[in-house]
Amino acid sequence: MNSLKLFALVFGLLLCFNCKNKNPKPNSALASIDFLRGDLLLCGDGQFGELKFSLSCDYETRETFDLAVALLHSFQYNESEKAFVKVIDADPNCPMAYWGVAMSIYHAAWFPPSEEDLIKGSAVLKIAKALSMDDKQRDYINAIDAFYTDWKTIDHKTRAKRFEDKMEAIHLKHPEDIEAAIFYSLALFSTRDRVGKDYINERKAGKILEGLFAENPNHPGIAHYIIHNYDNPTLAQKGLETARRYASIAPSSAHAQHMPSHIFTRLGIWEESINSNLQSTESARCYAEAAALSGSYFEELHGIDYLVYAYLQNGDNKNAEEQYNLIKQRRTFHPTMLTAITYPLAAIPARLALENKDWERATNLELQDIELDWNKFPWQEAIHHFAVALGAANTKDFNTVEKKIEILKTLYQNLIAQNDKTKAIQVKQVKIQIITAQAWLSFRGNDLENGLKLMQEAVDIERKTSKHPVTPGDVLPAIELLGDMLLELNKPEEALAAFEENLKDRPNRFNGIYGAAIASKQSGNIDKATLYFNQLIELTNGINSERLEIKEAKIFLEQAI
């Protein structure tokens, strides 16, 4: 790790201020705060983009401060906090360094901070507010303080909106301040409608960021947040150019290597998604080694989840299985982001079974044995039980289906009981799973009319529900399952309409294209069947796939000549 040693030396020199020793008075309150400290663990050549944030304090700390902000923009939260703490240690009277620590533990785009983090953030800001500062610094401090104030009695969503309002005020007051605009766009993303598909905040934030990107082409935050705001079927095309640039802007960030794959996944560009995540997982393993983590780093699991999804869409079961084999025996994980740990561990084995319609495998799935309590993650656990329920329905193990539906209902109620508005999309997705499982229980039990009615109900909810940002996609879309059901009911025209609707939001899905080809064939539309079977062959070109659907496509095309 020569680059790590180099950076340790560089930062040691940066913070050794022999030429300007102010001998700041120690603040006893600092000793009570459990700051993250230590050498910055920066893999690769340490490039995280370019920016200059003029609100840092001592001139000698500015390079460190700007690096901390760059790390913050690429969600390298532990390292950004350590870098801000280096500034505090060198200049404890710098209010913006405390702002940086509070921002590093907010995780605006991810999930609500823990109680421990909220206590810590409040304590950090209490120190900051007692320091001397100019009006602009005070505005920044007050903005993040609006999120931490009264956290015991005011819900996360309300406090996040207060932060957004404060950042908007700073942005309007200082339109020349690039960072104010960027952090305002991040605040807009954090308060977006997480369930619906109007994407009001995402469009507003995207417009701000696009206006900044041309003059700031190497800024990591601008590129990163454009991708987050456009990570949906409606806006994804607007983020493609940025996705192809972000990794080169911050090549030392595992997250920056991964994020472009969100856009590639939305657009069905599987090879670029695969390449993005191969680089990301390698960078994540580098970080885990450098940090001497006792468990796997969450970015590796997150990247592998996207890798498995992409490989499956290419019909490449072999590489999908190999990626799963890397993690399926692991038990300990670095809990920076528990959602991004537990979701892949539930979703990956479910995908491998369901995407291949391997119902026996799905029925026999078991939750991975990990050093985390699955009961604390009802949304993630529900994915497992949903997969087993679908497998059991299709093998006519109706007792198991009924048991799994009851478990899903309990998990659904557990999510509702949490009364966490940031998990609204999780609640919706579990509801879709319950109705879908009930639909296939009825359908396989020969109550065809009720099965179809329930499946259509699940699709109606899915149409109004956005994708969770941590996921590459549902383990099986309800609209795709509706298409399968309609095919079995000998309604190929309706099935084709379902599959084509599915492909509009989820382009280049293997099962979506295959379903559209079969529906076209059964409805007598040979031209469309030829089109879709050719797409399936093109999708899997160069892959030594054993999927039977590809063999079927080749036979059809040979006979159609």
Scanning the structure block, which residue is given the tokens 């300990």?
A: 332
Q: Is 293 exposed, middle or buried (0-12, 13-18, 19+ CB in 10 A)?
A: middle
Please report, to the nearest 10 degrees, the dihedral formed by the alpha carbons of residues 482, 487, 491, 493 taken in order.
Answer: 80
Fold equal for 2-18+28-191 and 339-476: yes
Q: Give the per-residue pLDDT at 80.
A: 94
Residue ranges per structural domain of the chain: 2-18+28-191, 339-476, 493-561
Q: What is the CB-side half-sphere exposure of residue 95 using CA atoms within 13 A? A: 22
Which tokens belong to 108? Answer: 């605006």
Nearest alpha carbon to residue 209 among 171, 173, 247, 174: 171
Closest to 22 (Cα-Cα) out of 97, 93, 124: 93
Fold assignment, 493-561: 1.25.40
pTM (two decimals)? 0.91
Token look-up 């856009």 returns 263
Q: Of 297, 348, 298, which Cα lies nearest the Cα of 322? A: 348
Residue 333, phi then psi, degrees to nearest 5: -145, 155
Contacts of 43 (CB under 8 A, 6+ apart): 1, 3, 4, 252, 254, 283, 286, 287, 290
State how far the Cα of 391 lies from the Cα of 101, in Å rounded to an integer.
47
Q: Which residue has the tokens 């192809």?
A: 244
Tokens coding 542: 């160069």
CB 391 within 8 A of CB 360: yes
Among candidates 438, 387, 388, which has minimal Cα distance to 409?
Answer: 438
CATH class of this structure's domain 339-476: mainly alpha
Distance CA 249, CA 217 (A): 8
The span from the CA of 260 to the CA of 223, in Å, is 10
Q: How far apart are CA 305 and CA 312, in angstroms?
A: 11
Per-residue pLDDT of the chain (561 residues; tens, 9 = 90+): 433 333 433 444 344 433 344 444 446 778 889 999 988 887 767 788 999 887 778 888 899 999 999 999 999 899 999 999 999 999 999 999 999 999 999 988 887 889 999 999 999 999 999 999 999 999 999 999 999 999 999 999 999 999 999 999 999 999 999 999 999 999 999 999 988 899 999 999 999 999 999 999 999 999 999 999 999 999 999 999 999 999 999 988 888 999 999 999 999 999 999 999 999 999 889 888 888 888 888 889 999 999 999 999 999 999 999 999 999 999 998 876 688 889 999 999 999 999 999 999 999 999 999 988 999 999 999 999 999 999 999 999 999 999 999 999 999 999 999 988 888 999 999 999 999 999 999 999 999 999 999 999 999 999 999 888 889 999 999 999 999 999 999 999 999 999 999 999 999 999 999 999 999 999 999 999 999 999 999 999 999 898 999 999 999 999 987
- The pLDDT value recorded for residue 338 is 82
CA distance linking residue 535 with residue 64, whole number of Å: 50
Closest CA to 550 of 356, 390, 321: 356
Question: What is the CB neighbour count within 10 angstroms for residue 224?
Answer: 27
The Cα–Cα gap between 325 and 306 comes to 15
Q: Collapsing DSSP states into helix, strand and coil, what is residue 334?
A: strand
Provide the token pair at 420. Answer: 């966490």
- Tell me the C-alpha distance between 511 and 356, whole Å: 9
**The pLDDT of residue 108:** 84
Three-state DSSP class for 58? coil
Tokens of 355: 């995407």
The residue among 402, 406, 382 whose CA lies nearest residue 392 is: 402
CA 220 to chain centre: 17
Q: Domain 2-18+28-191 belongs to what topology? A: 1.25.40
- Predicted pLDDT at 336: 64
The continuous run of DSSP H or E covering 333 comes out as strand 333-334
